[in-house]
Structure 1
Amino acid sequence: MSSLYAEHLSILMQRADAALAKAGFDHLLIASGVEKYQFLDDRPYPFKPNPHFRHWVPLQQHPHSWIAYTPGQRPVLVYHQPDDYWHVPPAPPEGAWVEHFDIRIIREPQEAAAHLPRGRAAIVGEADAALEGVVPNNPPVLLNALHYQRGFKTAYELDRMRRAQRRAVKGHRAAEAAFRAGGSEREIHRAYLEATGHSDLDLPYTNIIGLNQHAAVLHYQYQSPERPATPLSFLIDAGAEVDGYASDITRTYAMHEGAFADLIAAVDAEQQALCRRVRSGVDYRDLHLECHLRLGGVLRSAGIVDMDPGEMVAEGVTSAFFPHGLGHPIGLQVHDVAGRHDEEGNEIPRPAGHPYLRTTRPLAPGMVVTIEPGLYFIPLLLERLKAGPQAKHVDWAAIEALLPYGGIRIEDEVACTDGEPENLTREAFAQA
């Protein structure tokens, strides 16, 4: 692991060298961030560090710390370790990575300023991280370059992401078992936390735990304590984190065999086919449109919509059942940066009629993206479809029978390579 991190840090310094030269700066300063307090209260919100800071060091709960990098010099970590008896202060930095940094311990946040170089410095952070003479300027040219390069994961990052997959899979297995035992959403969520060793505060994102109709809410944000009288279906979108790197996995289950279970199997087959298409040079926009065609085929085969799949896509019918994008980049952030921009920060447009697609970049080796097709029975969208000219092609009795099940989403993380794609999620399930 030490060698993987050393290689990772070397790549980050090379990228920083190029970005600094391009933007006309001599130093890169990165703030970890500051604790933010609730309005009219002395309780802080859960701290989430600047992802640029986490890119350099595997530290999570360390506000008021800084990284300073000057090309050709050893990077400096200004590490805030306060004298505190109200809370447990951070432990001294430890791990193989520390040997690569000049570490300076400070007790008060303002002491960091004395350890940060002046002059032409690119200072990356939120405005409230400012110190005397050190004010974040977030140069767009530099950020665009760094964000674009973050799309290409190092071997160290891929290792962390594989570990995050395995951690999440433990939770998914426990959650499925809790569903099949008749658990409530809250009970299923707690089973997930117990299996992964996470708390609500350190998950990479809020778990989506939807039973029955709640599976039709794309970002369902609650966990009901009530057990449904008749559990029919279960959608779980939940991840885990290792050293700042997130996983993002979705699965859908039916309690019993039948039309909905058959629909899950059909979506799963198309999802796996799409995962196999994550190859160098493929335009992700084309993959998204191919997904719509494949889902149109599922709708026709299931007898839900009697139209040619190409016509369904052209006339927006598939969007009533699949209203979101195929996926997104993932890494330090669940929805990682620069999914729709080139290295200069220019936007790569979405296909017309697909406003929620988060990725439009061509795929290349080192990129990791999610592939998450879905079919949902969302009353709001179905009412719009029913009011339009395509309504005559829809079997509304079939729709009525499927409404209580909510919907389906299946999501894997897939790494693009020079050859066959690596499905990080399926491999983690296979190893569980």
Structure 2
Amino acid sequence: MSQNDPGALYSQHLGEMIRRADTALARAGFDHLVVPSGTLHYQVFDDRDYPYAVNPQFKTWLPLTRLPYSWLIHTPGERPTLVFYQPFDYWHVVPDAPSGWWVEHFDIHIIRKPEEALALLPADPSRCAILGEPQSTLGGFAPNNPPAVINHLEWHRGCKTPYEIALMRQAQVHAVRGHRAAEAAFRAGASEFEIHMAYCSAVGQDANELPYGNIIALNEHAAVLHYTELGRNAPQPSRSFLIDAGASAHGYASDITRTYAAAGHDEFQALVDAVDAAQIRMCQAVRAGFDYRQLHVDAHLSLMGVLKDFGVINVSPETALATGVSAAFFPHGIGHLIGAQVHDVAGFAAGENGGRIERPDGHPYLRLTRVLEPGMTVTIEPGLYFIDMLLDEVKQAGNAASINWERVDFFRPYGGIRIEDEVLCTDGEADNLTRPVFAAAG
């Protein structure tokens, strides 16, 4: 059985989903799990709908991401049921008939109107755990999202099945193809918008299919962590390029970041290379039993060591961390869980019954506080930025002497650096899902 063939791995994945659901239903006292795929959302005072986004609880069971008004029904001891919405419609493309590796595992019922699902749902809504958004309500079936069910399912989603990992590997391949095209466009002098279009074309996915809005930042724009404006004119000169962009594979995401220096900007390239080397070491630190919060703190110390080596800070990495100086240069978390959602769920969960593990003091943007386990897939995304707002706060806190401001002025026109890979935690060494794909792409 190939580790990269989702079809061959799906049966085992579905079995795991059923086991998790059975346990969650028994603990919460429900007889059925009911998951709507979601509905279309229409813009206010208009008949235009927003881009459809499938319920994540739905797409973890089925590789279907463009199927509104459909329902998954699981009753312990029975084959799962799919109510498949395939309308009569000449205004829009109708979903193809059900096909693929998953079909043989479900009882499938085709409906032509959303309300036809009511006859196929369990008889008593009060005996159902219904997972979804309020807008998915149909008759008496209003999502109740029982915490006992949600907590159990989301906790276990933190550890990916081989099927999920296979899809995430596919998403890496798609995204790396786009990253290579984007770098080439940057080297050719393209604008942010043109780079974005080159990326989408190479990946074969548009803005509604990508897992998140591309961050395409030239020069100082890289200092805006979520820069998505996409300037239409290339800056003159173009000094640096930060791209944070992923791709989707049957609803599973990749999330990759790279930073490049333009030709002739050797010192900034050296800083990029130093962050890249530090990031590789951080990826290698992903181990079962390791506290992700410690990995985040260690990243601060490593990055401050880089800034010390480049003469940007005048104090030790430990002092920079203790005084908050490091947070001015590295103001976000080291990463997060990733899977069916880019920022996957249960990053703070204390256990399958709920509870919360808080972030370390002074690190408000970390998105994962759990101890790593085999099967967890995380992003490792250290960054160094030259953000005036945060650097001014360092001055206001009385720590201006900790920073060499001439060096800050030198690097400010480049905006910042971020390097991001996805890493699978195993029983042994970390499995970097991203780097080998870049190596194979040449």
Aligned to 1:247: 254
Length-normalised TM-score, structure 2: 0.97
1:48 aligns with 2:57: no
Q: 2:303 aligned with 1:298, yes or no?
A: no
Q: Percent identity?
A: 57
Q: How does 1:101-250 map to 2 (within 5 A)?
A: 101-119=106-124, 120-250=127-257
| Pair 1:388-2:408 in alignment | no
Q: Offset of 1:257 from its aligned partner?
A: 3.8
The superposition leaves residues 190-244 of structure 1 with CA deviations (integer Å, 9 ceiling, x where unpaired) of 1101110011111100000000000000000210010111000000000000000
Whether 2:382 is the aligned partner of 1:363: answer no
Counterpart residue number, 1:4: 9
SS in 2 for 1:93: coil
**Residue number among 314, 321, 339 corresponding to 2:322 in the alignment:** 314
Of residues 331, 346, 349 in structure 1, which corresponds to 2:358? 349
What letter is aligned with 1:67?
L
Count of matched residue pairs: 432
Post-superposition CA distance 1:320-347 (Å, at most 9, x none): 0000000000000000000111222211
Structure 1 residue matching 2:69: 3-state secondary structure: coil
Secondary structure at the residue paired with 2:234?
coil
Q: Which amino acid aligns with 1:393?
A: S
One-letter code aligned to 2:35:
I
- Shift of residue 390, structure 1, vs aligned partner: 1.8
Which of 21, 35, 41 lines up with 2:40 in the alignment?
35
Write the letter of the residue equivalent to 1:222: E
Q: Deviations over 1:163-205 (max 9, x none)?
A: 0001000000000010011110011001101110011111100
Q: Does 1:376 align with 2:385?
A: yes
> What is the CA–CA distance in structure 2 between the aligned matches of 1:131 and 1:420, rounded to whole Å?
48
Instruction: Read off the aligned partner of 2:282 and give its amino acid letter.
Output: L
TM-score by length of 1: 0.99
1:306 Cα offset (Å): 1.0
Aligned to 1:149, the other structure's residue is in SS state helix
Structure 1 gaps of 5+ residues are none
- Structure 2 residue runs of 5 or longer lacking an equivalent are none
SS state of the match for residue 143, structure 1? helix
**Where in structure 1 do 4 or more consecutive aligned residues deviate above 4 Å?**
none
Amino acid at match of 2:318: G
Q: Could you report, residue by residue, the CA deviation over 1:354-388 in whole angstroms, capped at 9, with x for unpaired residues?
A: 01000000000000000000000001111111233
Q: In structure 2, what residue type is equivalent to 1:379?
A: D
Q: Residues 27-58 of structure 1, C-alpha deviation per residue, up to 9 Å, x if partnerless? A: 00000000000111111100000001001111
Name the stretch that deviates more: 378-387 or 414-423: 378-387
CA contact (8 A) 2:223 2:387 kept: yes
Distance 2:407 2:266 in 1: 13
Q: What code does the residue aligned with 1:412 have?
A: D
Find the aligned partners of 1:257 and 1:232 in 2 and give their Cα distance.
7
Q: 2:428 aligns with which of 401, 412, 419?
A: 419
Choose 336-345 or 47-56, whichever is displaced more: 336-345
